[in-house]
Structure 1
Amino acid sequence: MTAMAVETSAHTETGKTLFTIWAEGFAATGESQTAWQLNESPIQAETLDDAVRQYSFSSDSRHLFRRHKDGTWTYWGCRLFDNEADARGAFG
């Protein structure tokens, strides 16, 4: 995914990782938002790509998720990350 940083998530007994998905902030048409966390509970997956797929498929807003050709994900046009620091570093 975008800006793959050092994992800050824990590994499970199955060898999978517990992911927290973060979106970068935005400023557009008079609205703004700093980086925010999408999932309330960690998602067990092998990769961030798998975690975002799981989360997006179960979301009522699944149509707002997009996987780009380079493998990165966005939600409502905001890039997704596996940690808060990278999301805030990308845009607030």
Structure 2
Amino acid sequence: MTDNCLVLTGELVKAPTVSITPAGIAHCQFALEHRSVQVEEGMSRQAYARIQVVATGQWSQNLSRELVAGSKVKVSGFINRHESRNGNPILVLHAQHIEMIN
């Protein structure tokens, strides 16, 4: 199996954080909140999700200057399992493309 693709629009909950690994690789991390109305079996339902997003590489440093709390974006990439600091598993969206939405 190779398919692992997610596209999600939403709003940044707070300003992103940028970190540099010991190998010199930049990471930009932020939480994305999505709210919408989806139709399921002919019925409308509220959809809500909050997911951590990480963008890796040089482009992420440039991106972090544009992103502020409240920014609306469309993120596409793949999901991967990470562990929180207390050892709990979480899904993280690894961004491959981020588009600002006006």
Band of TM-score, shorter chain = 0.3 to 0.5
TM-score (norm 2): 0.31
Larger RCO (CA under 8 A, 6+ residues apart) = 1
More helix by share: 1
